Amino acid sequence: MNKLDTLEGLRGFAAAYVFLHHLNPLQGTMFELLFKFGQEAVILFFLVSGFVIYYAQNRSGAHTTMASFLRARALRIYPIFLAALAVAAVVAVATNEPGCLRVQPLLANLLMLQDQVGMRRGAWFPTFCSNSALWSLSYEWWFYVGFALLCVRRGHPGPRAQRRIVSAVALVGTASYLVYPSPPALFGSYFSIWWTGLELCRQYLDEGRVSFRGQRFALLLLAACTAIWLLPAVRVLLAGTYVSPGLEPFGQVRHFGAALVICVTGIGLCARPDTSRLRRLGAAPFTMFRWLAPVSYALYATHNPILYWLIVLKPGRMLLCLVGTLASLLLAYVLEIALQPRIAAYFAQPHPLPPAPLVEAEVQVEVEVEFSREG
């Protein structure tokens, strides 16, 4: 597929921002607030992912089954995800914190059921060994499953039916979470954010542009979910109870509000032809991050344990920033550029079955006779 430069830049920018959010290079300065929006960067990831997945699926020109689609996504996600789990385990041992090395959370992470326990109610399992960035990968995986059911499986519904289903899943998930918090409810609610990226791509492929009129469904759905998430936030404010802006219920309001702001800003820059110069100026800062896009996933998934290890060693702020950046980029390069293509190539080609073991001469006569009949 032909890569869109701005999308590649947005992907690289989001990964760099999350990295800087955890590195916090401006800690203790008046500019520290600049890197306080890591959660919003993850929302940008979701939007870009929905766009890119739909783009790739529709530009490939070949029919894809649900099994082949999910297999391809698993081959993209799991090798680096397993590496991220291994890095987190090594850091846990190195920092003398092996208590997180338990089978249950490991299996839960392998099944993509992890979330940030303590930040959202109803989370079943924590991210493995406090590698907090891995929370979004469970959401991403279940978004792929939803996409496969709605857009890939044989006899899938048309666009109108898809929108009705997505609306029901998102609104029921959001509302039901307020009554009974659970990961499936959150996955359903946040699916509306990922699907917004898909709707943007759908109009882009059909018309060569995006517009507010063409995105009425996506924007109204995001607004409706945001309004529902505002209910508990307003209740907390009226009660005068202090809750950190990054925690529930304000976290969900931030996420959906960020999705709305990103989409409205992007559509506003692209909708009118007389804003082409402004659009280019707006995209320029993000396209500079295109070079980081090829390693963005590995950087996102593995940097947190590395930074935590360095923080425990207390090397000093300058050395922490330098070593943390170099080590994280190097590991991301090795995983994405050196290993991932080889893994993909290995599973892409058929492998012959291993030769059958030779029958030993000392076997019983009855077994020899039966073997000779079958062979």
262-304 per-position pLDDT tens digit: 999 989 877 665 555 545 555 667 778 888 999 999 999 999 9
Q: Which whole-number Å values give the CA distances from 364 to 356, 368, 369, 374, in the listed order? A: 19, 6, 9, 16
Q: What pLDDT is recorded for position 158?
A: 92
**pLDDT average, residue stretch 30-35:** 89
70, 145 Cβ separation under 8 angstroms: yes
Q: What pLDDT is recorded for position 370?
A: 39
172, 188 Cβ separation under 8 angstroms: yes
Sequence-distant contacts of 249-252: CB under 8 A, at least 24 apart = 251/39, 251/119, 251/120, 252/120, 252/189
Cα 104 to Cα 108: distance, rounded to the nearest angstrom:
6
Q: What angle do CA 72, 171, 241 make, to 5 degrees?
A: 110
Longest dimension (CA), the chain: 88
Cα 249 to Cα 255: distance, rounded to the nearest angstrom:
10
Q: What angle do CA 189, 191, 193 make, to 5 degrees?
A: 95
Cα 276 to Cα 26: distance, rounded to the nearest angstrom:
34
Cα 268 to Cα 266: distance, rounded to the nearest angstrom:
5
- Residue 120 β-bridge partners: 117
> Residue 352: what residue type?
P
Of 185, 48, 59, 60, nearest to 123 by C-alpha is 185
Query: Residue 130: how many CA atoms within 13 Å on its side-chain side?
Result: 15
DSSP assignment, residue 29?
S
290, 281 Cβ separation under 8 angstroms: no
Question: Residue 115: in which H helix or E strand, if any?
Answer: strand 114-115
- Per-residue pLDDT of 296-338, as tens digits, reads 999 999 999 999 999 999 888 899 999 999 999 999 999 999 9
Q: Would you list the DSSP string of 227-244?
A: HHHHHHHHHHHHHT----
pTM listed for this prediction: 0.89
- Per-residue pLDDT of 64-123, as tens digits, reads 889 999 999 999 999 999 999 999 999 999 999 988 999 999 999 999 999 998 888 889
For 282, the token pair is: 């707006």
- Per-residue pLDDT of 221-267, as tens digits, reads 999 999 999 999 999 999 888 888 888 889 999 999 999 999 999 89
Secondary structure class of 117 (helix, strand, coil): strand
65, 152 Cβ separation under 8 angstroms: yes
Q: Which whole-number Å values give the CA distances from 174 to 122, 178, 188, 316, in the listed order? A: 13, 7, 7, 43
Residue-averaged pLDDT of the chain: 87
Cα 148 to Cα 256: distance, rounded to the nearest angstrom:
23
- What angle do helix axes 296-313 and 66-94 make, rounded to 10 degrees? 10
Q: What pLDDT is recorded for position 2?
A: 45
